[in-house]
Amino acid sequence: PADPTAHPPAPRVGNSGSWVEGLVETEYGTIRVHEFNPGAVGGVPVISFHGMRAMKRVVEEWLPVGEAIATTGARVLVPNLHSNPHTKPRKLKGNDFSRIV
C-alpha cells in the first residue's frame, strides 16, 4: 500500500470555515481527522467515532453533528478510521479506540 505520509494533502477547510481536515499520527499509523472549532481554548474536547461500515456516508455521518457540537465552543475531532488499513472495519477491538486517542 502507498505511504499516506509521502505527500500529505493540504488541509481542507469546510464550507462554513468551521472545520479543517488534516493527518494525525497514531500508533496504528496516519489517519485523516476532521477538526471542528480548531484552536478552541477552554472548550470541552469531544471525539466522535463514525460507524464502521465502509461507506462514504457512514464515514461522514458525524460531520454535521461535529459542526453542531462545535457551536457550543467545544473542540470536536472526528477521526476517519477508514483512511488507514489498520483502523478499517473489523480491524479494531474495544480498547483499541482508546489507543487511537
Q: Look up the pTM and report it.
A: 0.69
Cα distance between the two ends of the chain: 24
Residues 26-42 have pLDDT tens digits of 888 888 888 888 777 77
Q: Is residue 29 left, alpha or beta, with left meaning phi > 0 and alpha meaning psi from -120 to 50? A: left
Please report the beta strands in the chain, taking only residues with DSSP state E, as ranges in sequence order.
12-13, 19-26, 29-36, 45-47, 75-80
Ordered by where they begin, the domains of the chain are 13-100 (3.40.50.1820)
Say whether 6 sits in a helix, a strand or coil.
Answer: coil
Taking the C-alpha atoms of residue 95 and residue 74, their distance in angstroms, rounded to an integer, is: 24
DSSP state of 88: S
Residues 49-97 have pLDDT tens digits of 776 666 677 777 778 888 888 888 888 888 887 777 777 766 777 777 6
Q: What count of residues does the chain have?
A: 101
